[in-house]
Structure 1
């Protein structure tokens, strides 16, 4: 063993006059947009896949500082950065040059910040003593390769690049003790091609280890505060040059809860991030602490998991003998109209919508069965966020199974909606219709009449196609943009050419004094009224918070700014919009607003800034589809 230690080194294999590898590595670039979210998702997925002994898989993320001299042969890495910078300066690649300049700058500091990722109760990385076709080789040396099968989460072999996207040096050390007690560690630097002393050009990826780029048969502990317990199999990953955003911990906690809520809730996964424990026992506290941070509504899905069977019964579907789909749907105010689709690993794949935009609900569908999970896994995109039937070898089968699953969700929702007393609506068009009593629908008849009535044509101003956000005409009052609003505040502007008396501009006679308006202000400026305009929203949404009490929340993002504004609310029905009185209204921070019948007044619109308003209508006991229109004043 001593003989091999002499040969520990960073080695960058030659490309043998073949392909040149640049800085835009497709694997690394895949995760650059959302590095923290991707890191949490890929690591947790890989660890769950490697779970053993039916014990909860534990994953730990912990930062630490290390002197650069304690990184194995760090001087060789710095030399590689320098050579790569020179190589790509000749190639005129500013992106590569910038990266290697930054890497050298970071490498001159006395201490280097690192992130340690450790998992426990897993099989570790097996096959470290094999040259090819092993989990160890696929992780450290392969590209586009994965030996995962069955219900395992990954299948494309690109998740391994997520840690490199979080490294200022694109350098990672792997250390493992596998289930058979075999130990190994190796460093991997995914850089670019560069020229060595002998004139050869490298492939770009370098390896720290023994001859023939074999791993060292031992563990490495770069974190001075960490030692893997004896007999505890698992893997440690060390990311060198870890320099994330300040809120990286929050990003990772939210990512774990959004992506692996089912696994955590079922007790299969425990994650610790800088001392914050994500486990089933800590979920109530975490949901409250991060409720404003969830982008994929983990807090609402948590309500589904915790709901009682009476309000949230479980439905089951056998899918062609391949497996079973378990579905829970909760209908409750404020939920976001989606169902989370969760595969056997406990990881959420996607959120399914297109069910109902009126009735608030959330649901979780969990797929059980190796054959069904294996098939659905084959439909996933590389990021594991969609099922795409075009990826299937048997496309007809894929379409059949996914339609069956989506149809099952819709039928269970409709059944549960009826049992809960809601009026049945067609989900495809429900967002445009008012909730109406079934009996009234049955009494309607289509009739024709021979009576000829007088038809009056009313000319309307055609709205310009170039809509800047403020309408050319108020759709209700007929006040056009540019006209004074009789109810608007008075403003004395003294615009040029206004007022009686001698202006400075030309009338009928050159030199002024004519009867026509000139460019001068005159001696008696005209008092103007503010102009009222229809405020077009760039986004708007109304969400029911309580069906019984008629409470809603309105989100209205104006396309332009205006003062002295107001919103008018209507109940949308098939034949038109109907006014309904507002009982009370307030801003999201509790500030009360004045209401006049169906109008919420005293608003200020700021372009692009959403207004969030809590509203109580004089319409309770049932869901309704709401229409909201905004108006404001400009000078």
Structure 2
């Protein structure tokens, strides 16, 4: 049994709550199951009474605050019970301590305020069991301790009767980031953790709604457990539903705009060396021509292209004495969370091909893979995970979800399934949705996060263009299953 007695501006209010074990009983000859929770309130209801309990001759409090009486508390059942209460208070009232709105005395011995938070948080960080229970607390504490943390005032909510600056969003990308935002009102008590903001961006945040108007709305939408806000508790659910969505959108967009990595106007052509001759000294990048044994003159130039995709291209120009110049673009090299190099898999001279192999010449073989034919998917049961495959994921245009996947297997593969995952900074995988995939201009079959292709050739880089459902810069991981 727990009794609560609070002295606030409105006066004193008290209520008691007890959880019983439900059991079967008979009432007027009918078998019933007793209620598990009982209340000590006004006329036996959940409504509080307007007086103090005054247990044990205690004098009613004269200062604002709350007294909690636990009836029948068995200390033998809880080892270090003062520590347990301390951790729980730190977890649920961190911002109340930070704003000096709360001070707690436990067992007439332990005085708890914000100056004690560092010791408490460090104990949690260094104890795996405690960290599992209070895993987000260190990240929120690090936001407040970061001298360079950012503060954003809530603006643009006048249609809801909320003035600019009635709430503040505190953010930081330092310390034990948890990718969540602690949501709290004026008193500073934790209401909930706002998540699903980004699995890639490193951040922690605290949203403090301190203004009179926003507090009035959120108080009305708050459930009895004080752990969520819901439009269903509103007299105008549509309007307040929009308000909650707009408030969450403000938080998410502010964090993404602040911590999403910006792309420079110029990028290094990382990985170009993979497609240049080993003896790089034999090539002049200033368009000087070098003769090979076949008397073919070759010039290689790096071309900077200012496009949205920030792609540098490696272009090979074949200059044959007495003939016309023929340019073959050898793919693109871009910059993203994972880097790579690319070319279109076609040679420059004199090849031929039959069957499913592409030619080593100016043109591909006549019977290359039919990417529109999904018959090969039926053989999935015979597929094995392929480990000897080199790949690179190259960002082409992240705002439109465009990436180029370059794949180079050691052995020729058939009935290929390519699985894509997004990797966060913590190393955790998450699914990513593929909208479209093409290979040499032909559309491939796709699953939610899978691409199917009939075959991949050994020893050559093969480009697959992929469009994802999203506009965030991603780091992708690839797994390949196929028949060898």
Q: Scaled by the length of structure 1, what TM-score is found?
A: 0.38
Q: Which has the higher contact order (CA 8 A, sep 6+)?
A: 1
Q: Scaled by the length of structure 2, what TM-score is found?
A: 0.48
Higher strand share: 2
